[in-house]
Amino acid sequence: MRQMNLLYGFIGLVIGIIMTGVSAYAVMPDLMILEDESRYGFDETVRMMHEETEKQGWSIPVVHDLQETMKNFGKDVRKVKVFELCHPAHAYKILSQDSERIVVSMMPCRVAIYERADNKAYISRMNSALMGKLMGGIVSEVMDDAARESEMIIAPLLK
């Protein structure tokens, strides 16, 4: 009888581990990328993105117009722009230390504004705070600050 209880306990543990893994796999994409509808149309959202970024003391070194890029390749897509947001103080904390440079591929922070078939504008970005927590240390601190400040930039644009 004791052996049966141990067997059932082991089977329950294995099933629990499998279900936890499947659940995490199913939920992770929704946690890693955040998306919200803008309260404005595409062009107004883009204009306000520039204004709000400047108000918060950040800069936009580059804006990628992916609609235009795709047009150059003979492909027609809806409006889409990707903003590279930069805050030199945050960037310096990572770039000044060799041990932290592993996350450079995620710099600068990127925010995408795009239009869907419903003609509404949407804003998406990586969940930097969550990514930072997975990394720990200075990266976690910087990504948490950057995520909080980035959300302050886009908050007035969200529906």
User: Taking all residues of the chain, what is their mean pLDDT, rounded to a whole number?
Assistant: 86
Confidence of residue 119 (pLDDT cuts 50, 70, 90): very high
pTM of the entire predicted model:
0.80
Strand ranges for the chain from DSSP E: 33-37, 59-65, 80-86, 109-115, 121-126
**Residue 124 buriedness (CB in 10 A; 0-12 / 13-18 / 19+):** middle
Tell me: pLDDT of 14 over 90. no
What mean pLDDT comes out for the span 119-133?
89
Strand partners, 35: 124
Structure-model confidence comparison of residues 156 and 11, the more confident one:
156
CA 141/CA 132 separation, integer angstroms: 7
Q: Which domains does the chain carry?
A: 32-157 (3.30.310.70)
What mean pLDDT comes out for the span 41-53?
97
What confidence score (pLDDT) does residue 23 get?
Answer: 55
What mean pLDDT comes out for the span 58-67?
96
What confidence score (pLDDT) does residue 25 get?
Answer: 53
Structure-model confidence comparison of residues 131 and 144, the more confident one:
144
Confidence of residue 30 (pLDDT cuts 50, 70, 90): low
What confidence score (pLDDT) does residue 140 get?
Answer: 84
What confidence score (pLDDT) does residue 150 get?
Answer: 93
What confidence score (pLDDT) does residue 51 get?
Answer: 96
Tell me: pLDDT of 18 over 90. no
